[in-house]
Structure 1
Amino acid sequence: MIASDLDGTLLRNDGTLSPRTLRALRTAESAGAEIVLVTARPPRFVDRLADAAGFGGTAVCSNGAMVYDIGTRTVVSSRALPLTTARRVATALAAAVPGIGFALETGNHILYEPAYRLRLSEDTGAELPVPSLADLWLADVPVTKLLAWSDRLDADALLAAAEAGAVDGVQLTHSGGRGLLEISASGVTKAGTLSVLCAGRGIDAVEVVAFGDMPNDLSVLEWAGAGYAMGNAHPSVLAAIATHTLSNEEDGVADVIERLFGAAR
């Protein structure tokens, strides 16, 4: 199995998949390897990529909160974050980081309150505003992630503030977004979900080659038999993972696959 993150890893900085990388993935598939996308992104983003590049198969979405069948566009399994937990965590974070804003990711939409002012072009059409923070906790939807955003702190500083603010009972991480902290149900990680998926397929960790660039990828890179940190990876990832490849702009994933499978560039 080849398990790859998307942003900053498989995709170039403009969000596209290079022809070289697509050829390398097709070569690996032809040789019998399964390609699994392992991303912080929700299914709606994976759908757009699948339409553009012809992807099928399986994706682990929302940092492990969802397993998604790309071909049939169905959620195979999910681990929701209880709204009561999200509210408790948001209360603690608001005390630790004044001015912080919150949103709820459902996989199909983002519900956000007025203080959450982060806007992403790829989420156009999926964003649903609510009048106040209190209204956010009235949402009658399954929540895959609580998103916390600050216009004053970067993602590393926000994560440190959350950890120092006695926020517990959840999984805290980030994927490099501008001042964005991602919060999932306790125990939800990319590696945890991928390991269950592999067990169901009879695939051992040693048979998995993984690629990633951000702190939310560390669990997978450490679990896989061969974990590769991208050349453009976060400093903590480069320090923790001994094996590196080229950057996403240099087709680092393709470079490894070509060597593993004897593919032409």
Structure 2
Amino acid sequence: MQRPRLIATDLDGTLLRRDGTLSARTVRALRTAVDAGAEVVVVTARPPRFLDVLAAATGLTGTAVCSNGALVYDIAARTVTRSLALPLSTAREVATALSAAAPGLGFAVETGHTFLYEPSYRLLLSGNARSELAVASLTDLWLSDVPIVQLLAHSVRFEADMLLALAENSVGGAAQFTHSGGRGLLEISAPGVTKAATLSALCAERGITAQEVVAFGDMPNDLTILRWAGTAYAMGNAHPSVLSAVPHHTTSNEDDGVARILERLFDGD
């Protein structure tokens, strides 16, 4: 392919190593691409506050599509520039239906700045304690006046693939369901909110076509963007559904899979 105008990359399992860091090789490849005129857009399930920590450690700047497309974030300015919230009534409807389909679920709400969880929700992230706020019951999740960016459902019994199938069968098109590999974790957004929908809108504003985008990802929540981009690569460590759906593969995140492709595209003339 010709040199892309925009590089869209997932973070966990794609750009980042297992320890959450960027390798020196990856940093160098990204800088080479930017120096050549390409824009790098991070497209992640992570909320903006995670990008703040990453930017402080790596110098990462630019635009990020966060929370599976629900937020657009200016990393340098630390500002949300676009938000696509999940309606409260929809969140309550989905939680009720999923509780019936998969008993024992715990629920949490992501606002982009804070994370609210009820007692049955047990998947808390290390290093995130200052942003995690426990509430007394499921009902209390719906009392906050802060818009819901994502509803999260966690099960100690069902794997994420099973939860995804149960959600699609029981709630239909009420919301957008996906997962990013978290054990027993289902990620729920407003209907139509995906990584691809938000990135395509950003590209349209910049006069960039899908054919001018190269994308990288590893999990089901990356599939919309991998199918939309003109050229897409599944990581060597990707979920089986991603490996089967995406014809181009690179090496794993531990083996600098993104950097290897960017070097091929941007090193030398």
TM-score computed with the length of structure 1 as normaliser: 0.98
Matched ranges for 1:107-186 at <5 A: 107-186=112-191
Looking at structure 1, the residues matched to 148 and 37 of structure 2 have their Cα atoms a distance apart, in angstroms, of: 35
- 1:137 deviation in Å? 1.1
- 1:166 deviation in Å? 3.0
Looking at structure 1, the residues matched to 127 and 175 of structure 2 have their Cα atoms a distance apart, in angstroms, of: 27
What SS does the corresponding residue of 1:121 show, helix, strand or coil? Answer: coil
Q: Would the aligned equivalents of 2:94 and 2:171 in 1 still touch at CA under 8 Å?
A: no
Instruction: Supply the RMSD in Å over aligned alpha carbons.
Output: 0.8
What SS does the corresponding residue of 1:102 show, helix, strand or coil? Answer: strand
In the alignment, what sits opposite 1:106? 111
1:257 maps to which of 239, 248, 262: 262
How many residues are paired up? 263
Looking at structure 2, the residues matched to 238 and 44 of structure 1 have their Cα atoms a distance apart, in angstroms, of: 30
TM-score computed with the length of structure 2 as normaliser: 0.96
- Counterpart of 1:214, as a letter, is M
In the alignment, what sits opposite 1:57? 62
5+ residue gaps, structure 2, are 1-5
2:235 aligned with 1:230, yes or no?
A: yes
- Counterpart of 2:125, as a letter, is L
- 1:178 deviation in Å? 1.1
- 1:262 deviation in Å? 1.7
2:205 maps to which of 171, 178, 200: 200
In the alignment, what sits opposite 1:11? 16
After superposition, the C-alpha distances for 1:120-177 in whole angstroms (9 at most, x for unaligned) are: 1032211001100111111111111000000011111111111222343210000000
Looking at structure 2, the residues matched to 224 and 234 of structure 1 have their Cα atoms a distance apart, in angstroms, of: 19
What SS does the corresponding residue of 2:143 show, helix, strand or coil? Answer: coil
Q: Would the aligned equivalents of 1:113 and 1:132 in 2 still touch at CA under 8 Å?
A: yes
What SS does the corresponding residue of 1:148 show, helix, strand or coil? Answer: strand
Does the C-alpha gap of structure 1 residues 100 and 176 become closer, same or farther in structure 2, counting only changes over 3 Å? same
What SS does the corresponding residue of 1:166 show, helix, strand or coil? Answer: helix
Question: Any runs of at least 4 consecutive aligned residues in structure 1 with deviations exceeding 2 A, and if so which?
Answer: none
2:78 maps to which of 73, 78, 94: 73
After superposition, the C-alpha distances for 1:68-105 in whole angstroms (9 at most, x for unaligned) are: 00010000001000111100000000000111000000
Looking at structure 1, the residues matched to 74 and 200 of structure 2 have their Cα atoms a distance apart, in angstroms, of: 16
Q: Would the aligned equivalents of 1:93 and 1:167 in 2 still touch at CA under 8 Å?
A: no
